[in-house]
Amino acid sequence: MMRFRDGRLRRTLLAFGVAAAVVVPVSGAARPEIPAPAPASLGRVTAATLPGAYAANRANAAEAAARAEGYGAGERAATLRAMASPHRDFLAFDGRGTGRTAEVFGDLAAADRVAVLVPGSDTSLDSYSRLRSGALALHAELDRHAKPGTRTAVVAWLGYETPGTVSPAVLTTGRADGAAPALRSFVGELHRINAHARVSLLCHSYGSVVCAGAATGPRGLDVADIALYGSPGTGVDEAADLRTRARIWAGRGSGDWIADVPHTSVGLFGTTVGFGTDPVSDGFGARVFAAGDGGHSDYLKPGSVPLGNLARIVRGDATEVTHA
């Protein structure tokens, strides 16, 4: 029986990958890259230079908006103009290609608790509003229940080129392997800006593969908690394989289609396809939190069970987290 299931899985993944390999490049070829300037040169950002970094990134976004407008890319230009607003703060910004951003909500330099949202597939400048909405909802939830005198901040980190949901890249750790060093470096930057902050990673879908890759690096990852939600797997067999002292959490909504993705890995043409053990399974060894009955995109929905639990994890209120 196991041999049959493995064979069927191999055929399914191979068929999916071949189909995606044909579809994605053709669709991508029809969308030439929109021109944008290189990122602003910020140097080593500290708490003192943070306002200047924000201003430089807003100016860069404004220039990117002007170039997009001149190119005739009206929707991208509108997105970039909104990012250039004086009410927006970006610790990192790159308007080229699919985009790279790290938007800050709250006072990063003074925060006691900092959450970093690491998104999954199909997240780019053009779909960024979904990530931003989740960050706003989380920040509001954190502030709503914060202990007196405790300050919070949330960072929406789009620091890598996410794979398409229907693409070969979403089946392997390739994009995550490239993103993991950038995430480790970013966490280090946060600690330089604010040495006393308690940092947590909240990793959605393919973002959980990125977070696991960052945590298995040679120097580990200096964060308090790593929460994996809507995860297809992480690329490691169990939580103990992650080189971090962080508490590892996992949650999945009962309506999330990711539950139907085979939680295994197979070798195809010299590449490992799939991400192994289901993070919410007993065998993985994470702390499983209740994630309600929502779907794959509902974890940061205002008023939802998973949003409440993710906020408790960020605040360090482990005993108050509800469990499945």
- Lowest average pLDDT, out of 28-42, 271-285, 301-315, goes to 28-42
Smallest CA-to-CA distance from 246 within 228, 229, 222, 230 is with: 222
Q: Note the pLDDT tens digit of each residue in 253-270.
A: 999 999 998 887 666 656
In a domain, 67, yes or no: yes
- Cα separations in angstroms, 39 against 111, 238, 274, 291: 26, 38, 34, 37
In a domain, 193, yes or no: yes
Does 76 share its domain with 171? no
In a domain, 261, yes or no: yes
Does 57 share its domain with 122? no
pLDDT band of residue 219 (cuts 50, 70, 90) is: confident
Q: Note the pLDDT tens digit of each residue in 11-63.
A: 444 444 433 433 333 333 334 689 999 999 999 999 999 999 999 999 999 99
Give the pLDDT of residue 315: 97
Does 72 share its domain with 101? no
Give the pLDDT of residue 6: 45
- Which phi and psi angles does 271 have, rounded to 5°? -120, 140
Instruction: For residues 270-281, give the mean pLDDT.
Output: 83
Give the pLDDT of residue 269: 58
Domain final position from 89, 112, 143: 89
- Lowest average pLDDT, out of 25-39, 108-122, 186-200, goes to 25-39
Give the pLDDT of residue 173: 82
Query: How far, in Å, CA of 239 to CA of 125, rounded?
Result: 32
Q: Which residues of 277-308 are buried (b: 16+ CB within 10 A; e: fewer)?
A: bbbbeeebbbbbbebbebebebbbbeebbbbb
- Which phi and psi angles does 154 have, rounded to 5°? -130, 140
Does 57 share its domain with 120? no
Give the pLDDT of residue 131: 98
Does 80 share its domain with 102? no
Please report the DSSP string for 244-281 in residue order. Answer: --SEEEEE--TT-GGGGS---EEEETTEEEE--S-TTS
Does 75 share its domain with 135? no
* Residue range(s) defining the domain that contains residue 238: 97-320
Q: Is 72's pLDDT higher than 60? A: yes
Strand-pair partners of 287: 249
User: Into how many domains does the chain fold?
Assistant: 2
